[in-house]
Amino acid sequence: MTGISSAAPWIPLLILLPLMAGALSFLFGPRGHRSLLAATMTGIWFSLIRLILDFENAGLQHYPIGGWGAPLGIDLRADGLSLAMLGMTATVGSFISLYALGYFAGDENRGIRFWPLWWLLWGALNAVFLSADLFNLYVTLELLSLSAVGLVVLAGDRDSLAAGLRYLLAALAGSLAYLMGVALLYGAYGTLSLERMAGLFRPEPANTLAASLITVGLMLKTALFPLHFWLPPAHGSALAPVSALLSGLVIKASFYMLLRLWFEVFPSALTEVFTQGIGSLGAIAVFAGAWLAFHQEKLKMLIAWSTVTQVGYLFLTFPLAAASSTSAPAALSGGVYLAVSHAVAKAAVFLAAGAMLKVTDEDRIDRLEGVGRHLPISLFAFAMAGVSLMGLPPSGGFIAKWLLLNAALSSGQWWWAAVLVLGGLASAAYIFRVLRRCFLPPREYAAFHPVPLVMPLAALSLAGIALALGLAAAYPLRLLQTGAPLLLEASAPSTVAP
Amino acid sequence: MSAVYGPIRQIAAALAWILGIGLSAAIVALSRPDFGLAELVEAHLEESGVRHPVTAVLLNYRGYDTLLEIAVLLLAVLGILAFRPPGPASIPDAAPDSSPVLAALSRLIVPLIVLAAGYLLWAGAHRPGGAFQAGAVLAGGGVLLRLTGTIPSFESPNAWLRVSLVVGLGVFLAVAALPLFEGSRLLEYRTAEAAMVILVVESALTVSIAAILATAFIGAAPPRIRCMSPSRPAHSAEGERAGQS
Amino acid sequence: MTFDDWLPLLVVLSSLITGLLIFFVGEEQHRTRSWLNLIGAVAKLVLVGIMVWGVFQRHRYETRLPLLPDQDFVLRADAMGMLFVGLSSVLWLLTTIYAIGYLEGSPHRSRFFGFFSLCVTSTMGIALAGDLITFIIFYELLTLSTYPLVVHRGTADALRAGKVYLQYTMTGGALLLVGVVWLYEVVGSVEFTERGVLAGVSVVDYPDLLAIFAILVAGLGVKTALVPLHGWLPVAMVAPAPVSALLHAVAVVKAGAFGIVRIAYDVYGVEFAARLGVLDPLSWVAGITIVYGSVRALTQDDLKRRLAYSTVSQVSYIVLGIGILGPLATIGGVVHLVHQGLMKITLFFCAGDLAETLGIHKISEMNGVGRRMPWSMVAFTVAALGMIGVPPVAGFVTKWYLGLGAIAAKDYWALAVLAVSTALNAAYFLPVLRRIWFLPASGEWPKRERDQLETRPTLLVPTLITALLSLAAGLFAGSWFSPLGWAKLVTAREYVS
Amino acid sequence: MHVTVPTGTLGGGRKSGTVMIGGGLIYAMAGVVLFALGFYGFIVHAHLVRRLIAFNIMGSGVFLVLVGLPQRVAGTPPDRVSEALVLTGIVVAVSATAFGLALVRRLYDLTGETRLPNDPRPEP
C-alpha cells in the first residue's frame, strides 16, 4: 500500500474539533456559541486544507492512533475519496451552520438543543470518512445515526417523533446487520483493519454472506429502494436545516462505506448478478421516487422523495464500475461526484424551502404562487440547485451524469445510459412542477414573517457552489483519482465481473 | 389490515430460518485465522499502563473506540433532551413513594453503592471492573434516590448536571489531544504516564456514565407525564402542536 | 494568457454579467436597468467587432479552461461562429431597445431582462463553443433561460406553452447528450475543426457513426423545429413579442440549425458525411419541413402563428443548404442563418408594433393599417417580400445560391421544393400586404395627432433598422463584409479547394 | 461485567492431532439463534417496546458471535480484543435503547399509541 504514515495532527483534529465543540456547546448553552462556531469552523477548514496539501505532496496518509498501528490499534487514513467526502461535509456543514444561526435566532429553546447534536454529527461524519477499521466504522455509524435521530425529533411534534422512531429502528437494525458481518469477518481473518482485510479476503460462501449482511445493513442506512421507507417521513418532517444535512450528508456516509468496502476490500466478491441487481434497485428508486415526488402535496416531502431518486442514481455506480476495468475510474469518479453535488444541491434546496416555509407558513406546493416576489433569493437558489438535481449543465450533477454516461456506453451497458437520461427528465418534471407555480400572479400570504438575510444567502451560496462544481470539476476529480486505493483497486482487472 | 399482514409474518419466519441456517453454516465453514491479536495484546501489555488486558484494549490500544463510545452515551441524553417539551412542568413534582422506611434504607444504601463503585473503578486496572461498571452502579444509586424522591426531577439540566454529563467526554478528549501538542500521536501516552492517565480518564468516565444513565432515566419522564388519563393524549398533543411551529 | 485568449470569454461574460446584475436591480429602478442593458449590449458589440476583424485576418482567439481532467472548456472564434455571433450581438442591442419600449409599465421586468441576457449569453456560448461538451453546456442553458421568457405572462396559456416547450427541448437535449457521449466513446475527445475531425476516421465505426448522426440531428432538430419535432414553436407564440422575435429570429431555432451546421461541417465534415450517406436524408427532411411549414402558414389567422409556421419553413432552408453537397448550396444555407434572422425579426417587431399600438393580433384586423402606421408597414412589406424572395431583399440571395447549389448537385427535386415554397410564401404573405395597403380601414383605432409618431420611437426605430439591414444585406451582397461575403469565406474554409 | 469466555474443550484437552471444537462455537451458535429470533420479533411486532427488546436480543446474538468465533478452536487463548469490542457494543446498544424507550414514552404521551402510526401489524 502506497502513502506515508503521518504524524501531522490534521487528521485527528478533523474529528476532535467538532466533538470538542459539541461538548462545549452543551456545557455553555447559548452563551458564545457564535464565537465557538467561528473558531471550530476555522479550525476544521484549516486542518482540511493542510491535510489536502500534505496529500498532494505525499499521497495516501496513514495515521496510526496511539502509535500502535493496525492490527492491534486503529488506523485513520485519508485518500482522495475521503478528502472528497470531508470537503463535501465541510462545505455543506459550514453553510448549514450559518443558516442555522438565522433559523434558530427566534427559537432559543431549540437552538441550544440543536448545536451539540449538530457538532457531534459533524464529528461522526469526519470520523466515518477517515476510519480504516471495520469495528470503528460501526461505532462511528452509531454516533452518526443517534445524532441524526436526535436532530429529527428536535421538531418535537408527533409526526417528527414517529418519523424519528422509525428512523431509529431502521438505523439500529442496519447497524446490527453490519456488525454481524464484521463479527464473521473478524472470526475468519482475526483482523479489523480495512487494508489487511483487503489483502486477506477471499470470496468463499461464508465471507460472501458476511459481505451481504454488511451490504444490506448499509443499504438500509442509505435508504436504497426497497429499504427507503424511513427516509421521506424523517427528512420531510424535520426542521429545515436538519433535513438539509440529513439528505445532503448523513446518507452519504453509508454510501461511502459501501463504495469503500466493495471496491477496496471485497472487489473479488463482485459478481454480475450482484452489481446488476443493486443497479436495478437503483433504477426502480429513480423512477418510483420521481413519480412519488411529483405527486406530493407538501414541498418538503417532494424534496425528500427526490432524495430517494438521487440515492437510486448513486447505486448505478456499482454495475458501471464493476463492468470493466476501463469504465471503473469514470464510473467511480462519477458516482462520488454525484454524491458530492447532490449533497450541495439538495442542502441548498432544503434551505431555500425552509426559508419559504418560515416566511409564508405555507407547506403546500400549490400555494406557492409568486412566492418569488417575497423571496427572490430563495427561489433563485431553489432553481439553481434544481438545475444540478436535473443533471443539466452547468452543474456538478451534469458532470456526474456525463461521467456515468461515459462509463455506461464504454462498457456497452446502454440500459443504464437510458436510466440516467430518462431519470434526469423525470427529475425535471417534479422540479418544474414547483418552479412553474412561481410564475403565477403572486397572491397575498396570510402570514408573513421576515427572516434573517443569512438564511436565503446561505441557500444561494450552496446553489452557486452546485453550479460551480459543473465548471471547475477538473481539480476535485484529479484529487479524487490520485493515490486513491479505491480507484486504483477498481481499475485493476481483479474487479472485472465474471 | 391482517390480510395485508398475514404474508409478512410468514416471510419474516422464512427469512429468520434462512438467516439462522445460513449463519450457522457460515460460522462452521468459516476459515480460521492464521493469526490472532491475543499475542499482540499480551506482548504490549507492559507499555499499556494497565495489567488487565481488556482494560488495555479498551483504554489504550483501541481507546479511540471508547472515546467515540462515550460520545454515543452522551448522545442518548442529548437526544432525550432534544424532544423534551419546553416550558415549566405543569404538575408539581411529587415523590412516587415517600414511605419513611424506603427513605431511611436508601440513605443507608447509597454510601455503600458509592463505595462499591469506587472499588470497581480501582479494580478495573488489573481485574474485571472499570469505569462502566462503576458508573452503572452509581447510576443505580441515582435512580434509587430519584424513586424515593430524594433528588428532584429537572426541567433543563443545571450547570452542575451539565458538567458531570460532559466531564467524561471532555477529559477524554483533552487527554487524547494532549500528545498532539508535543508532536506525538492521538492517544499516544508514554508508558510511564499511561497508568495515571488511564486512571484520570476512568474516573471522569465513571462520573459521566453515572450522570448519563441516571439522567436518561429521570429526563425521559418529565413529571407531568406520570398520570395518563384517556383525554390527556389528545389535549397534550394539541398543546404540543401549539408549542412548536 | 493574453487578451486574445480572453476575448471569446469576455464576449460571453459581457451579457452574463449584465444579466446577473439585472436580477439584483430593484423592480422599480427602470432607468438603471435600461442603462445596464444598453451598456452591456454596446460593450458586446465592440468586443465582437474587434473579434470579427481579427478572424477576417485569420487571427486566432481561443479561451481554454480545464473542465474535466481530460477535457477542456473551449471557446473559439472561427468564421462560422462569427456569422452567428455578429447576428446575435446586433439583434440583441436592437431587441433590447425594442423590449424596453414594449414592456413599459408591465411587471417583473427585472426577471424578464435578466433571463433575456442569459438567453443571449447562451447564444454567444453556442456560437463560440469550440467542442461539443461546451456546446451542450450552452445549448441546455439556452433551454433553461428561455423557459421563464415563454411563461413570462403567467397566464394559463403561457404555463401550458412553457410545459410543451420544456417537454420538447429537454427531450431533445437528452438525445443530444447521449449522441455526444457516444461520439466521444467512439472517436475520443471531439473538437470542432474546419472540414471536420472525422475526415480521417476509417469506416470501421461506420454503423455507430451513422446512428450517432441520426441521434444528434434528432436532438438538434427539436430546436430547429424540423417536422415532426416543430410542435413547440407555434405554441410558444404566447410569449411577449420581443421574446418571439428573439426566440424565432435569433436564439433558439438558430441554435438548433447552427448545431446541425457544426455537426455536419466541423465534426463529420461534408465529404465524410456524404460518404456516410446521411446528407440526402437530411435534405429530404428539410424539404418536407419547408413545404409543410408553408402550407400550415397559409391557414393561420393569428399573425404571430403565421409567422411561426413561416419560421418552421424558413429555418429549414439552412438545413437544406447543408443537405445538398457542394459549396454553392452551403453558401446559400449558411447565409440564410443571417438573412432569415434579419427578415423574421423585422416581421415580429411589426407584429409587436401592431399589438402594442392598435391591439391588432389577427390578420383579419389588418385592413388598411398601412395608412395608420405607414413606416412599420413599409418595414413589414420589405421583410415579407424578402421572405418570398423578391430581389433585391436578402431572401433572394439565399434562394439564388440554394438554387444554383441544387443544380450543381443535380438535386432537381430540391429546385422544385424551392419553387413550391416560394409560391406558398407568396400565397401567405401577399394577401396580408393587400389588406395592409389596398383594403379600407375597418378597426376602431386610437387617433393620433399630426406631430406624433405612429408608435413609440423605441418600437419603431429597431423595426426600421432591421428592415434596412435586410435590404442592405441583399443590395451589398457582393461586398466582403456582407453576410454573403462571410458565408463565402466560411465555405472556402470548410471545403478542400 | 467483563464477558470472560471459558475456553475448556468439549472433546478432552488433547492439544495434539485434530483440531478440537472450542467452547466458543457453542456461544457463536447460540448467538446465531438469538439473532434469528430477534430478527423475527423485530419484524412481526408492532408494539415499540417489544421491537426494542427484539433489537436487544439481536444485539446479544451478535455479541455472542463476536466473542465466540475467535475461540471456536480448542486451546486458543481468550481473545481480549473481541471481549473489549463486545463491551463497547453493549454500551452503544444501551444508549440506543435508552433513547428509543424515551422516544416511545414521549410518543405515547402525545398520541396514546404504543406503535408507529399506520402500522399494518395487529397486536399478537
Contact between chain A and chain C (3 or more Cβ pairs less than 8 Å apart): yes
pLDDT in tens, D56-74: 999 999 999 999 998 887 7
pLDDT in tens, B102-120: 778 888 898 999 999 999 9
Does B41 sit within 8 Å of A74, measured CB to CB?
Answer: no
Ranges A70-79, A485-494, B40-49, C157-166: which has the least confidence: A485-494
Residue C201's pLDDT is 67
Bridge partners (DSSP) of residue A459 are none
Residue A138's pLDDT is 98
Residue D28's pLDDT is 94
Residue of A109, A116, A209 lying closest to B78 (CB–CB): A116
**Inter-residue long-range contacts of A410-418, CB under 8 Å, 24+ positions, other chains counted:** A410/A324, A410/A326, A410/A327, A410/A330, A410/C185, A411/A320, A411/A323, A411/A324, A411/A326, A411/A327, A411/A331, A412/A323, A413/A319, A413/A320, A413/A323, A416/A279, A416/A283, A416/A316, A416/A319, A416/A320, A417/C178, A417/C181
Ranges A451-455, B30-34, C293-297: which has the least confidence: B30-34
pLDDT in tens, A107-126: 888 889 999 999 999 999 99
Average pLDDT over residues B199-205: 93
Q: Is C68 helix (H, G, I), strand (E, B) or coil?
A: strand
Do the beta carbons of residue A1 and residue A60 sit within 8 Å?
yes
Q: What is the DSSP letter of C246?
A: I
C455 pLDDT band, cuts 50/70/90, is confident
Average pLDDT over residues C74-102: 91
Taking the Cβ of residue A428 and every Cβ of chain C, the question of whether any pair is shorter than 8 Å is answered with yes
pLDDT in tens, C207-266: 788 899 999 999 999 999 998 999 999 898 888 888 888 877 778 999 999 999 999 999
Count of structural domains within chain C: 1
Average pLDDT over residues D67-87: 88
Of C118 and A368, more confident: C118
Angstroms from C108 CA to nearest CA on chain A: 9
Average pLDDT over residues A32-42: 94
ipTM for the assembly: 0.90
Neighbours of B (≥3 Cβ pairs closer than 8 A)?
A, D
Does C163 sit within 8 Å of A436, measured CB to CB?
Answer: yes
Neighbours of C (≥3 Cβ pairs closer than 8 A)?
A
Q: How far is CA B215 from CA A152, B210, C188, C220, C288, in A?
A: 21, 8, 64, 67, 81
Neighbours of D (≥3 Cβ pairs closer than 8 A)?
A, B
What is the Cα–Cα distance from C280 to C323, expressed in whole angstroms? 6
Of B36 and D103, more confident: D103
Residue of A399, A410, A421 lying closest to C178 (CB–CB): A421
Does A184 sit within 8 Å of B26, measured CB to CB?
Answer: yes
| pLDDT score of C1 more than 80 | no
B92 pLDDT band, cuts 50/70/90, is very low
Bridge partners (DSSP) of residue C223 are none
C446 pLDDT band, cuts 50/70/90, is confident
Count CB pairs under 8 A between chains A and B.
Answer: 179
Bridge partners (DSSP) of residue D22 are D9
Please report, rounded to a whole number, the percentage of residues in chain A having pLDDT higher than 90. Answer: 78
Do the beta carbons of residue B173 and residue A23 sit within 8 Å?
yes
Of all residues in chain D, the one with the smallest CA distance to B52 is D80
Of all residues in chain A, the one with the smallest CA distance to C157 is A440
Average pLDDT over residues D80-102: 94
Average pLDDT over residues B163-176: 95
Does B69 sit within 8 Å of D91, measured CB to CB?
Answer: yes
Count CB pairs under 8 A between chains A and C.
Answer: 79
Which residues of chain A does D35 touch, with a Cβ-Cβ cutoff of 8 Å? 176, 180
pLDDT in tens, A238-248: 999 999 999 99
Average pLDDT over residues A50-54: 95
Count of structural domains within chain D: 1
Cell reading at B58: 479498551
What is the Cα–Cα distance from C418 to C403, expressed in whole angstroms? 7
Cell reading at D86: 463486545
Q: How many CB atoms lie within 10 A of CB C407?
A: 16
B221 pLDDT band, cuts 50/70/90, is low
| pLDDT score of C495 more than 60 | yes
What domain range is D85 assigned to? Answer: 23-111
B138 pLDDT band, cuts 50/70/90, is very high
Angstroms from D16 CA to nearest CA on chain A: 22
- What is the pLDDT of chain D when averaged over all its residues? 82
Q: Is B200 helix (H, G, I), strand (E, B) or coil?
A: helix
Of all residues in chain B, the one with the smallest CA distance to A17 is B173
Q: What is the DSSP letter of C151?
A: T
Q: In a mutagenesis test of the A interface, which of B27, B47, B64 is the best target, namely the one with the most A β-carbons within 10 Å?
A: B64
pLDDT in tens, B148-159: 777 777 777 888
Which residues of chain A does C152 touch, with a Cβ-Cβ cutoff of 8 Å? 439
What is the Cα–Cα distance from C286 to B234, expressed in whole angstroms? 70
| pLDDT score of A4 more than 90 | no
Q: Which are the contacts of C188, defined by CB distance < 8 A and separation ≥ 6?
A: none
CATH of residue D81's domain is 1.10.287.3510
| pLDDT score of B232 more than 70 | no
Residue of B34, B81, B173 lying closest to A113 (CB–CB): B81
Bridge partners (DSSP) of residue A171 are none
Of C275 and C400, more confident: C400
- What is the pLDDT of chain A when averaged over all its residues? 91
Residue B245's pLDDT is 35
| pLDDT score of A325 more than 50 | yes
**What's the angle, vertex CA A27, arms to CA A23 and CA A32, rounded to 5?**
100
Of all residues in chain A, the one with the smallest CA distance to D79 is A190
Please report, rounded to a whole number, the percentage of residues in chain B having pLDDT higher than 90. Answer: 41
Buried b (16+ CB within 10 A) or exposed e, C352-391: bbbbbbbebbebebbbbbbebbebbbbbbbbbbbbbbbbe
Bridge partners (DSSP) of residue C398 are none
What domain range is C141 assigned to? Answer: 3-494
Of C2 and A430, more confident: A430
Contact between chain A and chain D (3 or more Cβ pairs less than 8 Å apart): yes
Does A183 sit within 8 Å of D92, measured CB to CB?
Answer: no
Of A348 and B51, more confident: A348
| pLDDT score of B90 more than 50 | no
Do the beta carbons of residue A290 and residue A309 sit within 8 Å?
yes
Taking the Cβ of residue C200 and every Cβ of chain A, the question of whether any pair is shorter than 8 Å is answered with no
Average pLDDT over residues A135-149: 97
Angstroms from D12 CA to nearest CA on chain A: 23
Of all residues in chain D, the one with the smallest CA distance to B212 is D95
A455 pLDDT band, cuts 50/70/90, is very high
Does B69 sit within 8 Å of A12, measured CB to CB?
Answer: no
What is the Cα–Cα distance from D58 to D74, expressed in whole angstroms? 26
| pLDDT score of A321 more than 70 | yes
Of A300 and A363, more confident: A300
Neighbours of A (≥3 Cβ pairs closer than 8 A)?
B, C, D
| pLDDT score of D1 more than 50 | no
Domain extents in chain A: 295-498
Does D76 sit within 8 Å of B24, measured CB to CB?
Answer: no
Taking the Cβ of residue C173 and every Cβ of chain A, the question of whether any pair is shorter than 8 Å is answered with yes
Residue A487's pLDDT is 52
Angstroms from A161 CA to nearest CA on chain C: 39
Residue C420's pLDDT is 94
Cell reading at A490: 477498481
Using only the alpha carbons of chain D, give its radius of gyration.
19
| pLDDT score of B1 more than 60 | no
| pLDDT score of A197 more than 60 | yes
Does A409 sit within 8 Å of C182, measured CB to CB?
Answer: yes
| φ/ψ (deg, to 5) at D9 | -100, 155
pLDDT in tens, A369-415: 877 777 889 999 999 999 999 999 999 999 999 999 999 999 999 99
Amino acid at C325: L
| pLDDT score of C462 more than 90 | yes
Q: In a mutagenesis test of the B interface, which of D57, D87, D101 is the best target, namely the one with the most B β-carbons within 10 Å?
A: D87
B98 pLDDT band, cuts 50/70/90, is low
Angstroms from A403 CA to nearest CA on chain C: 9
Residue D20's pLDDT is 58
C105 pLDDT band, cuts 50/70/90, is confident
| pLDDT score of D11 more than 50 | no
Cell reading at A172: 439500529
